[in-house]
Amino acid sequence: MNAPAGWYDAGVPGQERWWDGTQWTAHLRGVPVVAPQQAPAVPQAPAVPHAPAVPQAFGSPQASVVQGAPMGWFAVPGTSDVRWWDGSGWTPYRIRKGTPRPDAFAYEPGSIGVMLGILFVVVGIMQFGSFRASGAPLFAITPLLFFVAGIIWFIGGIRVNGLRKLPAPRTAPVPDPVIRPLPGEEEGAGAGWFPVSGQVVRWWTGSRWSPYVGQKIGVRPTQYGPRAYRNSMIVGGVLAGLGVLAAVFGFTMIATAGRFAGTVIVIPGVIFALVGGLVMLMIYIRRYTMILPPQAPPLR
């Protein structure tokens, strides 16, 4: 007979695992360790499989327990959001329209987003100086683009930093099939974390890849990854294409209209072409951090 749903001994001192009435879940919580003679009676339940070790690159189960709640999807106190809690803080990923999605313009860590925002604004100011010297209205496009990009980076970084200041979860994790398989779920032999790109690892349940990756900043969901991968490649391609066209046009102006006017166009054109090409290259190299690998581990 199946035991009723509830928290049961996880087989690890100071931890309990959630039994949903039919099977074990990936949710753990910390409990005070008491002496054997003081330990309360624990309801009988099936044996708990040993929890897999989490790579040092982004923390450990013990670190999550210290913060009071294991990683998972929780309702954010004081809001209607259901967000991913990585065991130490809230992340810019929430369930919207039944699908886990990242917040718009969010970038992690937040401090990097703020720094990039400031950098793009500074470059925009420098380009604005070139626009004023040229006197051509067309040249105002370049500083405007840098200003917009800087504002987007800055807002994203500020929002992520704000999420980390929200109070910790106070309710049980949300049991939604769309978020499974969760990291830690085992569906066969050989379950564990496997590298997919550099120091980034992805959870393998033993039979399929989980839509969660582990990084230095923590465990993150990737259900929205395929669309983000496609959009990022399109954006990189558009930037590179526009940059090449601008550079060609600028060199043509240098040869026909004058060195100064052409140079003002060539420089941002080359920058856009390099940025676009770099974006496409980096996204492709890290594609398995966004999309599920086509084969079982170990990756070749």
Residue 26 has pLDDT above 90, yes or no: no
Residue 3 neighbours by CB under 8 Å, 6+ apart: 19, 21, 43, 44, 45, 46
Beta partners for residue 83, in sequence order: 74, 94
- pLDDT band for position 32 (50/70/90)? low
What is the pLDDT, as a whole number, of residue 193?
93
Q: Residue 4's closest CA among 26, 20, 24, 25?
A: 20
C-beta separation of 297 from 194 below 8 A: yes
Distance CA 161, CA 104 (A): 14
Q: Residue 88's closest CA among 221, 260, 219?
A: 219
C-beta separation of 244 from 224 below 8 A: no
What is the radius of gyration, based on Cα positions, of the chain?
25
User: What are the pLDDT digits (tens) for 203-237?
Assistant: 999 999 999 999 888 899 999 899 989 999 999 99
Residue given tokens 């990097």 in the structure block? 112
Q: Kindly report which listed range (177-186, 190-199, 246-255) carries the lowest average pLDDT score.
A: 246-255
Q: Kindly report which listed range (34-48, 121-135, 203-217) carries the lowest average pLDDT score.
A: 34-48
Residue 108 has pLDDT above 50, yes or no: yes
Strands ordered across the beta sheet of 6-9: 6-9, 15-19, 24-30
Residue 10 has pLDDT above 80, yes or no: no
C-beta separation of 73 from 179 below 8 A: yes
Interval 21-35 mean pLDDT = 62
| Residue 283: φ, ψ to 5° | -65, -40
Residue 45 has pLDDT above 50, yes or no: no
Interval 272-297 mean pLDDT = 92
What is the pLDDT, as a whole number, of residue 201?
93
| Residue 291: φ, ψ to 5° | -115, 155
- Report which of residues 66 and 95 the model is more confident about: 95
Q: Give the helix/strand (H/E) hosting 145.
A: helix 141-163
- Report which of residues 230 and 59 the model is more confident about: 230
- Report which of residues 17 and 282 the model is more confident about: 282
Rounded (10°) CA dihedral 61, 64, 70, 74: -150
Interval 269-280 mean pLDDT = 91
Q: What is the mean pLDDT of the chain?
A: 78
3-state secondary structure of 34: coil
Interval 51-60 mean pLDDT = 38
DSSP line for 245-300: HHHHHHHHHHHHT-HHHHHHHHHHHHHHHHHHHHHHHHHHHTGGGTS--SSPSSP-
* Cα–Cα–Cα angle for 200, 203, 206, rounded to 5 degrees: 145
Joined together, the tokens standing for residue 59 give 């923390």
User: What are the pLDDT digits (tens) for 248-268?
Assistant: 888 888 877 767 767 778 888
Sign of CA dihedral 107, 109, 111, 112: negative
- Report which of residues 34 and 23 the model is more confident about: 23
User: What are the pLDDT digits (tens) for 158-175?
Assistant: 888 888 888 989 888 988
What is the pLDDT, as a whole number, of residue 121?
81
Residue given tokens 């703020």 in the structure block? 114
What is the pLDDT, as a whole number, of residue 37?
46
Provide the b/e sequence for 20-45 (b: ≥16 CB within 10 Å).
eeeebbbbbbbeeeeeeeeeeeeeee
Interval 188-197 mean pLDDT = 91
Joined together, the tokens standing for residue 129 give 């100086």
pTM: predicted TM-score of the whole model, two decimal places = 0.63
- pLDDT band for position 49 (50/70/90)? very low
